[in-house]
Structure 1
Amino acid sequence: MTQTKPTTDRSRLLALVVLCAQTLMIVLDQTIVNVALPSIRDDLGFSQSGLAWVINAYGIAFGGLLLLTGRLGDLVGRRKVFLAGMLLFTAASLVCGLAWNAEVLVAARFLQGVGGATSSAVVLGMIVGLFPEPGARAKAIGAFSFVQAAGGSIGSVAGGLLTQAVSWHWIFLINLPIGIIAAGMSLRVLEDDRGIGLRNGADVFGAILVTAGLMLGVYTIVEVDGHGWGSAHTLGFGGAAVVLLIAFVVRQATARNPLLPLRIFASRILSGANVVLALLVAAMFGFQFLVVLYMRQVLAYSAEQTGFAMLPVALAIAVVSLGLSARATARFGERPVLLTGLALITAGVVVLARVPVDGHYVTDLLPGLLPMGIGFGLAMPALMALGMSDARPEDAGLASGLFNTTQQVGGAVGLSVLAVLAATRSDRLAASEPLPSALAAGFHLAFWIAAALVAAGGVGAVVFLRPRAGRSE
């Protein structure tokens, strides 16, 4: 892939700032909306079931298009795809902020998901291209990982403050100045690239299959809570998604110019990193959702108290991923740093799996949250650097989109599975125990399973992410 890279440290730093600003805006938008949902429901007249589509419309578009848009970045140029996604996301945010009824908001949220996927899918590939040196790349990926991980906590706090201080409209309108500035700066600091050309990967039928399969799969997952895992709805739509994705794989094996060259999976390191990532985010996405519910439903924290209670996690991730992670990786290598991070996360979740009904923040929650933040700050940059290190330059956008797809789908599956298991156990105990005790028991089960998933990720890292012969850690 032909690309002219910024040559000075200052220009590369500015480019990284732009890419991280976009990432922060997208991650914030995925969490900032949650706090404002009651106000949105009251103002626009959503039904309780319809309100879920404020979240689901975004998630379906975002998760379904990441793989396609990541490959498009390789074909037509990553800056073009990034800028197009930024502009669409910003325009859709304006429509969301001005939405006058429920239908308009849901449609605009879908467009936001399209724009978010289009811009996000190529970011990691662009960072790898900007920072080819291992040390500089580790620091850049550390900054990117921090923004991804900490944005959720920041979004929870910002959503509550904006909704209370002004109105829910501003959780969307705040994206306008950020998006416009970031898009303008991207034209100045992100050098244009020509891509390898559509003729080298313009598999239209394959694009339809994978987009439909992923969207249908994400739709099935987000609707599990309302229908159940064994329902005809879940099995029917889930089965259709699997059929479409199998058909896509068959198509890629036979197409002259495949959208997703299957050679990318020949890399044991890249494939293994995606397996480990799926297990890690399945545990972390579900855990973050459930620990917030524990604070709200069992400890009776307010939305603002809960948001601030999660801030130490974001701060720990910041300190580690922006400083310690790169130095540790340079000294010990990605794999030992990854394994250390996964061990800390597992230990933190085990601590929280034993939190009592009348738990105290400083003595019961914080000792579990801090190791998780430190571990995540170590694990994510190391895992991303490992996975991207084995991708060909012409496949960097595809590998980036694949990582993002794994993160979105793995997180959605983990959230659904852990939430259903927690609710099932709580419902079974509610008839014989006080509600707080029943709820806490459900959360404990989910936390133990989350710890097992992270531990399984550690086993996967040991098995799949062994360095090649002749390559040091």
Structure 2
Amino acid sequence: MPDVRLSSPQGKWILLTTVLGSSMALLDSTVVNVALPRIGRDLNVDLAALQWTVNAYLVTLAGLILLGGALGDRYGRRKIFVIGVVWFASASLLCGVAPNAGVLVAARALQGIGGALLTPGSLALIQASFHPDDRAKAVGLWSGFGGIGAAVGPFLGGWLVDGPGWRWVFLINVPVALLCAPIAVRHVPESGGREFRPHGAGAEAGAGTGAGGGGAGTEAEEEEGARGGFDVLGAALGALALALVTYALIEARQGSAVVAVTAVAGVAAAVAFVLVEKHRPDPMMPLDIFASRQFTVVNLVTMCVYAAFGGFFFLTALQLQVVSGYSPLKAGTALLPTTVLMLLFSARSGALADRIGPRIPLTVGPLLCAAAMLLILRVGKKADYLTDVLPALLVMGAGMVVLVAPLTATVLASVDTERAGLASGINNAAARAAGLIAVAALPLLAGMGPDAYRSADAFDAAFRRAMPWCAGVLVLGAVLAFAWVRRPAPDCNVPECRTHGNITSPPLDTGKRGRDPR
């Protein structure tokens, strides 16, 4: 039984290393957008290369995050977490010294693999290490510090780009890893692997990914799942499908036969992924979890919401710099209000959803965000921050406050308790996949040419065509929520929901609620 107390020196070290590890991946997902114009100019690349700079990371992260949690369950969560930290830092170093766009994109894909290993492991280590009486508080602190990191991210990214240069957006991860990994090895107890046999729900700890047993089963099944293989084929097919579809969307403006073949291959890989998951005895994503209509609908709402968010923050960071003339530092600082509002008011939003149920928050939240997408159209040349930029970001933040905590809690409430961790992992992966598809598709839908970000007039015109698309997707999410989401009211009192500031994905949850993980 885990017995580390939060007030002990070891407890503080565990909290520190998990915060440092998760913050690397969280910061990376928010700071890169601010650096894109400088990366484009320095490497002399077109818009497609900037899209790949964002999406190469998301392809591997979204495709492998479920497998990453399962690897921690099988081989040891601390071991996989440390490997993820070192891998992520090594890929960050390669990003920082990349001589051209090809190397940068490849390094970003490697970063995503590291992120898939360390992201589920950071929370799983807390859940597996702390005494049950301290676990909720530890998770709350972990989530809160992570939220602060998310808020600081765009500001830090802008400061680095304006100061030592865009390469330091990546290189800063190296000293963080040099601090994080030794602390983990020295102070964090191992869990999972041969020393650990979960009780109650497959491999739900980590990201609740359960590759060895699909998230539920008897103790004997769990023992067998721990000894068995992993759904490597499913993970590979999922990542391949995302990569091929992303390539087809980004390169579609060329209209070549290669793009058409790639699109067909992407669809075929997606179909193969579904077939593998349907027939495999230990699927990464057991399809029977979608028998819950509410779970399915909430994941569709999640995809609508985070597709819009991904497109919004990708294009707005460029709009502020390319069209409005903001420096990277000013553009990064301009985006702070959304995250700050989430940190301050998510707990109150969760309490409200506890009382009235999820339907209204999941309807009103996307509509508020859709209004923000239209308000941001006021941002053009020489945009005034207080009158043009801030109102849209405040409305955006309000919508996210209303939406995010109830959305995550509804996902957890839509399945059996022992599959809550699995449900959270699927929901998180769906959000990231939706964001990368949006970054790939929006420039195509808005008619952005390869050099659009080099021309203020061209980019501004395309931006004004793109934001209504984002708003429309959010309205679709609101309609789905209003039509299909019902009670039972979710438990929004989860620590991850109360203090959450990540704008790129919903919070992960292990599904544990103070239970002894053995």
Same topology, TM > 0.5? yes
Identity over the aligned pairs, expressed in percent? 33
Task: Name the residue aligned to 2:91.
Answer: 92
Q: What is the DSSP-based 3-state SS (H/G/I as helix, E as strand, rest coil) of the residue aligned with 2:281?
A: coil
Question: 1:259-274 residue pairs with structure 2 within 5 A?
Answer: 259-274=284-299
Please state if 1:460 is matched with 2:489.
no
Q: Distance in 2 between matches of 1:131 and 1:340?
A: 37
1:344 deviation in Å?
Answer: 2.4
Question: Any idea what the Cα deviations from partners look like across 1:216-243, whole Å, max 9, x if unmatched?
Answer: 4234315633333965334322321221
Match in the other structure for 1:377: 401
Pick closer, same or farther for the CA change 1:40–1:276 going to 2, 3 Å. closer
- Asked if the contact 1:354–1:444 (Cα under 8 Å) also holds between the matched residues in 2, the reply is no
Shift of 1:411: 0.6
1:226 and 2:251 equivalent?
A: yes
* Cα deviation code 1:341-371 (max 9, x no counterpart): 3332223223234556664322222212101
**Paired residue for 1:387, among 387, 396, 411?**
411
Q: Is the 8 A contact 2:66 2:425 kept in 1?
A: yes
Aligned partner letter, 1:178: V
Q: Residue 391 and residue 229 in structure 1: after superposition, are their counterparts in 2 closer, same or farther (change >3 A)?
A: farther
Q: Which amino acid aligns with 1:412?
A: L
2:358–2:485 Cα contact (<8 Å) kept: no
Larger helix proportion of the pair? 1
Given the two structures, how large is their TM-score scaled by the length of structure 1? 0.79
Bigger Cα displacement from structure 2, 210-219 vs 365-374: 210-219
Matched, 1:407 2:431: yes
8 Å Cα contact 2:33-2:314 kept in structure 1? no
Task: Give yes or no for contact 2:322–2:456 (8 Å, CA) kept in 1.
Answer: yes
Question: 1:304 aligns to what?
Answer: 329
Which residue number corresponds to residue 27 of structure 1? 26
Give the letter for the 1:158 counterpart.
L
8 A Cα contact 1:41 1:47, kept in partner: yes
**Structure 1: any 5+ residue segments left out of the alignment?**
429-434
Instruction: Kindly indicate whether the alpha-carbon contact (under 8 Å) linking 1:71 and 1:401 is maintained by their aligned counterparts in 2.
Output: no
**Larger CA deviation: 443-452 vs 163-172:** 163-172
Quick check: 1:420 aligned with 2:444? yes
Letter in 2 for 1:161: W
C-alpha distance in 2 between matches for 1:379 and 1:352? 19
Q: Conserved in 2, the CA contact under 8 Å of 1:222 and 1:412?
A: no
Structure 2 residue corresponding to 1:155, chosen from 153, 156, 162: 153
Distance 1:146 1:325, change over 3 A: farther
| Alignment: residue pair count | 458
Q: 1:185 to 1:344 in 2, by over 3 A?
A: farther
**Cα deviation, residue 459, structure 1:** 2.1
- What's the CA shift for 1:447? 1.8
Of 254, 277, 286, the match for 2:311 = 286
Cα RMSD for the two superposed structures: 4.2
Distance 2:399 2:91 in 1: 35
**1:80-159 equivalences in 2 (<5 Å):** 80-97=79-96, 106-121=105-120, 144=143, 147=146, 151=150, 154-159=152-157
* Deviation for aligned residue 1:420: 2.2
* Paired residues of 2:408 and 2:424 also in contact (CA < 8 A): no
Letter in 2 for 1:350: L
* Cα distance in 2, alignment partners of residues 117 and 367 from structure 1: 35
Is 2:34–2:158's contact at 8 Å kept on the other side of the alignment? Answer: yes
TM-score, normalising length: structure 2: 0.73
Q: Identify if the C-alpha distance between structure 1 residues 163 and 89 changes in structure 2 by more than 3 Å, giving closer, same or farther.
A: same
Question: Does the 8 A contact of 1:127 with 1:137 survive in 2?
Answer: no
Give matches, 1:8-27, under 5 Å: 8=5, 10=7, 18-27=17-26
Which residue of 230, 241, 245 corresponds with 2:266? Answer: 241
